[in-house]
Amino acid sequence: MGFSLFWMAVKGKAPEAVRNELGLRLTGQRLEFPESNIAAAELPGGWYLIVWDREYPDKYLDDVPGAALKHISTSGGELVTCFVHEGIMISSAAYWKDGRKIWSIIHDSTKGGEHLATEGDLPEIYAQIRDKALSEQRATRGVEYVFDVPLDIAQGITGYSHCQDLPGIEADKPFEELVAEPSSIEAPKPPLWKKLFGG
């Protein structure tokens, strides 16, 4: 089935402030991997990472991409978001700063193996990563290297990849389990991937 998750990394804001803005709180449980519904870790370079597992209700995840992202990235905050769904082969990454989305990159394999939809002022590394992925995909046929383009760019900025160990962290259990405050969970809404990509 593969990975299905959503993560964000925030820089320029204290972890406690980020949790409060998202309606999240610590449980006191430490984790080796982000295997709980919601988990967080502090990354080298000042990024605070929060990962939502696929098992967590879409009704909360669906709230994350809206006003919360704009709010978290205000007052000097930087924000990178990443969505990964290997079951339907959709991936995305976006970068927010000063309350606005600077760029976004989406790959949706239902629109073709080489599909990439972009918006905004893309990072300099985009063209190089895209061209390499397209070249490898065309050479191998059947392997979707383009799926990794948004993920590789998000990793290039934050250092985090959902399928690798945390960079530069020696702790046995670098993640902390989080839970959503009851008031932050609203009525069910369309799944996260539908809000991100339409449909």
- pLDDT (tens digit, 9 = 90+) per residue, 48-85? 999 998 655 454 445 455 667 778 888 778 999 999 98
Is pLDDT larger for residue 167 or for residue 42?
A: 42
Each as own residue / partner, the long-range contacts of residues 30-34 (CB below 8 Å, 24 or more positions apart, any chain) are 30/173, 30/175, 30/176, 30/177, 31/173, 31/175, 31/176, 31/177, 32/172, 32/173, 32/174, 32/175, 33/175, 34/5, 34/175
The pLDDT of residue 19 is above 70? yes
Whole-number pLDDT of residue 194: 47
Q: Residue 107 in contact with residue 152, Cβ under 8 Å? A: no
The pLDDT of residue 93 is above 90? yes
| Average pLDDT rounded to a whole number, residues 133-162 | 93
Percent of the chain with pLDDT over 90: 53
The pLDDT of residue 6 is above 50? yes
Whole-number pLDDT of residue 1: 55
